[in-house]
Amino acid sequence: MNFQTLFSDFLSLIYPNICLGCDTPLPRGSKYICPKCHYNLPKTNTHTLDDHVFKDKFNGIVPIEHVLVFAYFIKGGIMQHILHDLKYNDNQEIGRMIGRWYGHELLLGGFSDAFDLIVPVPLHPDKLSSRGYNQAYCFGEGLSEALKVPVKEALGRKENIDSQTRKSKVKRIQNVGGIFQVLDKAFLAGRRVLLVDDVLTTGSTLVACSEPLIEAKVKSLSIAVMAGVK
């Protein structure tokens, strides 16, 4: 055991790395999530299903080929802690890590040649400036690394909106309608696009992003998110 390892072990005794799921010290070799919490992640396995509750959110609204959700969002659960750390504690790497994990699951599930381009849902420039990064892009980077598909910021956001939290699904869709725009229609035409975001609730933001992508004549459009609310 070299000095660097000994020093790292000594620091971990004083400042232990804590699992985001259960608040226990992480064993050596684990990052952010302990093996037990990793095993107990509430995965949806939507990549193995033709029909499921998350796909129903888009039926009859926009034509989406695949709706892929890594895990269920449960209030107070591990995915809520992960997303909070990603969005508010500058932990960009955990978004990439979840993206890599899910990307490998998609590879095993037959999605090795399903997409040509990964497009993150954009943040408003003011929010991007304040936060310093787009959490959806971090997730997209992880997926890109695993799937060997490029990630590109192909959508722009024209305006900011009020909080969606207390709005109905219809009001949410109306609130975000027309606020997203494609940055290069010629580049997107004919491509199989995977649109990515952090959380799927009603689907209103993803619907609003889907519309200009469909108008740009993408060959197909699918969605992948880190967590979904039933």
* Range with the poorest average pLDDT among 18-27, 176-185, 201-210: 176-185
C-alpha 108/C-alpha 122 separation (Å) is: 28
As a whole-number percent, the residues of the chain with pLDDT over 70 amount to 85
Domain limits, the chain: 42-228
pLDDT digits (tens, 9 = 90+) for 26-81: 998 899 999 999 999 999 999 999 999 999 999 999 999 999 999 999 999 999 99
Q: What pLDDT, on the 0 to 100 scale, is given for residue 158? A: 81
Q: What pLDDT, on the 0 to 100 scale, is given for residue 11? A: 41
What would the mean pLDDT of 127-137 be, rounded to a whole number?
A: 95
Number of H helices, E strands in the chain: 10, 6
- The DSSP output letter for 59 is T
Binning pLDDT at 50, 70 and 90, where does residue 113 land?
Answer: very high
In 3D space, the residue among 135, 179, 172, 173 whose CA is nearest the CA of residue 155 turns out to be: 179
Q: What pLDDT, on the 0 to 100 scale, is given for residue 161? A: 57
C-alpha 170/C-alpha 195 separation (Å) is: 21
C-alpha 61/C-alpha 209 separation (Å) is: 12
pTM of the full predicted structure?
0.87
Does residue 87 carry a pLDDT above 60? yes
pLDDT digits (tens, 9 = 90+) for 180-197: 999 999 999 999 999 999
> Per CATH, is 42-228 categorized as 3.40.50.11890?
no
